[in-house]
Amino acid sequence: MSKHPVSDQHRFHHSVEEISRRLDDGPAQSYLRDFIYGAIDGTVTTFAVVAGVAGAQLGIGVVIILGLANLLADGFSMAVSNYLGTRAERQQRDQARKREYEHLRIYPEGEREEIRQIFARKGFEGDELETAVSVITSDVERWVDTMLVEEHGLSLVHPDPRKAATTTFVAFFLVGAVPLLPYLASWLFGLDIAQPFFWSGLGAGAAFFLVGCMKGRYVEQAWYSSGFETLLVGGGAAGLAYAVGLLLRDLIVV
């Protein structure tokens, strides 16, 4: 008897019908990576601003102005960078596809030999190898797709650059705003919040940890390990910014 009994859910996901449906739908696009990295960067940079200003012992107004400027400017910059990077990956794939079509037109036998050697390295040999080569090269689209994946190491599916950029900006702005909340509440509602920097740090720490937990799930790392790892990275950035703020304060006094 198997030590790992197959559940009904596993049977369903590996049924002929379900496998066919998943292959027809193609791989699902996930923007979790864009959200996680946008959120981490937003929280780190915004709290670094807060820590630096607090270290220099400047006013709440300065914290809010610099914090919001960071959220908008850095968030937009990161979103644009993500957009251009994701778009560049698509353009790279499209250019490689054009080159492969051109190679097939000019020297089909050489391209067929590439397919033969690719599948030979996968363990195909003899009649099986020649059958695989014949099947792959009988359809130009399949032939080119195989070359893109096997020779160039490119994915046939890429995220939408606009969705990736939007996800990054939203995560950067929303999660990155957490360290500013005590200061914004004090300014907007006239609340007398004692030690706003303490509450800002507490909120930032919670944001670091929770985002790290999400990252851990994405990269299949233990949630608590990833959470504390992100917390340490964010805390290190904040500590460095605070130290710089103290130095700047001394320079201002002089």
Domain ranges of the chain: 31-253
pLDDT at residue 47, as a whole number: 85
Looking at residue 147, the DSSP 8-state letter turns out to be: H
pLDDT at residue 25, as a whole number: 58
pLDDT at residue 22, as a whole number: 58
Within 10 Å of residue 42's Cβ, how many Cβ atoms?
29
Taking the model in full, what pTM does it have? 0.75
**Tokens representing 151?**
């020779």
What's 188-247 look like in SS3? HHCCCCCCHHHHHHHHHHHHHHHHHHHHHHHCCCCHHHHHHHHHHHHHHHHHHHHHHHHH
pLDDT digit of tens for each residue in the chain (254 aa)? 445 555 656 565 566 666 566 555 556 667 888 888 888 888 888 888 888 787 777 788 888 999 999 999 999 999 999 999 999 989 999 999 999 999 999 999 999 999 999 999 999 999 999 999 999 999 999 999 999 999 998 888 888 999 999 999 999 999 999 999 999 998 888 778 888 888 998 998 899 899 888 888 777 789 889 889 988 887 787 777 777 777 766 665 43
163 burial level (CB within 10 Å; 0-12, 13-18, 19+)? middle
pLDDT at residue 98, as a whole number: 95
What's the distance, CA 145 to chain centroid?
Answer: 25
How many helices and strands (H and E) does the chain possess? 11, 0
Is there a contact between 148 and 97 (Cβ–Cβ < 8 Å)? yes
pLDDT at residue 96, as a whole number: 94
Is there a contact between 104 and 136 (Cβ–Cβ < 8 Å)? no
Task: Give helix 161-176 / helix 60-106 axis angle, nearest 10°.
Answer: 160
| DSSP states of 154-180 | --S----HHHHHHHHHHHHHHHHTGGG
- Angle CA(135)–CA(138)–CA(141) in degrees, nearest 5? 105
